[in-house]
Amino acid sequence: MRETVAPGPLDRDLSALTRLARNAFPGGAGGLALLLVCLVLLFSLLLPDRFPTFGTVQSMMFQLPELGLLALAMVLPLISGGLNLAIIATTNQCALLMAFIMKSLAPAGAAGPEVALAVALALLAGLALALAIGLVTGFLVATMGVHPILVTLGTMSLIDGISIYLTRGTVISGFPDVFQWVGSRIVLGVPVPFLVLIAAAVTVGLILTRTAFGVSVYMVGSNLEATRYSGIDTRRVLIGVYTFSSVLCFVAACLMLARFNSASAAYAQSYLLVTIVAAVLGGVDPDGGFGRISGLMLALVVLQVISSGCNLLGLSQHLTLAMWGLTLIVVMGVKFLVAPWLAEKWAGRRRA
């Protein structure tokens, strides 16, 4: 029979030091905050007259919400141990449906009660479509026993194919002025889209940390079978995860319509992998079971600072994407290689 040895004080110290080091270096909240400060100082030195201004901050607050909402839609499945590759396709199809309804019932320049009716019908239809996609996707993930990557890859292809076929790849534009208010309005110096992102992030954070459903999501991500044997209906949890993810896609679709005054099946396709980068950079475990919305938001700000700084320097957008990838690689290397090595070295000194 194999003998079980209880961990000694030094082993417990090493484990505690490793956790502390991982949080102190990039990848933890403290490390990301330090990285953000360094990036702000760097770009402020390189662009003293352009970067450290309120106009730049306001511009970043306008650019962040779409990616932020899509990242929130990706984080929920990631924490549950899955993945939702259909977030962009869902967002675009909801936007196209709402755009078609508003364009048909209340084109640009229209006024009167019909405008409010058209906007209300469009929002209800978009929400209903998002709920339907989320319920179907969640049901398939929960019942087929196939990895969510394959399920959502199929739903992504199906939704994209339908959207492109119905629109022939064209752009639908020209909506009532009242609908565009959300995308351009500034309240006390803060853009309304950024306020929507903050409200969504707070809501998701509270649901994950203060509700039985949120606790179940973490449990499912940590160990699906153990969660099932503990009496939790894991199928219902997974259906809820993907439905909630699709609802966040609907919110992102509303902001995109209001900001761009158009809809297309091709919008935001480059954001899919960036949402995963932001989630992992923010400390979300890609295997599921761990992740905080605060870390995700901090990671999004880091990525946006890099993007805005490179844009002001006149660098290519492709180089910005490369720098995002490099940031993730460096952060993961420091977090999982350098930090444990330093913790072990410190513990070795204590043993000596």
* DSSP string for residues in 280-329: HHTT--TTSS---HHHHHHHHHHHHHHHHHHHHTT--HHHHHHHHHHHHH
Quick check: helix, strand or coil at residue 263? strand
The 10s digit of each residue's pLDDT in 188-226 is: 888 888 999 999 999 999 999 999 999 999 999 888 888
| pLDDT surpasses 50 at 110 | yes
> Chain centroid to CA 81: how far?
15
Q: Distance between CA 102 and CA 299 in Å, rounded? A: 35
Bigger pLDDT: 248 vs 272:
248
Q: How confident is the model at residue 72 (pLDDT cuts 50, 70, 90)?
A: very high
Domains and CATH numbers, the chain: 28-347 (1.10.3470)
Which percentage of the chain shows pLDDT scores above 90? 36
Tell me what pLDDT residue 137 has. Answer: 95
Q: Which helix (H) or strand (E) holds 187?
A: strand 186-187
Residue 2 has pLDDT above 50, yes or no: no
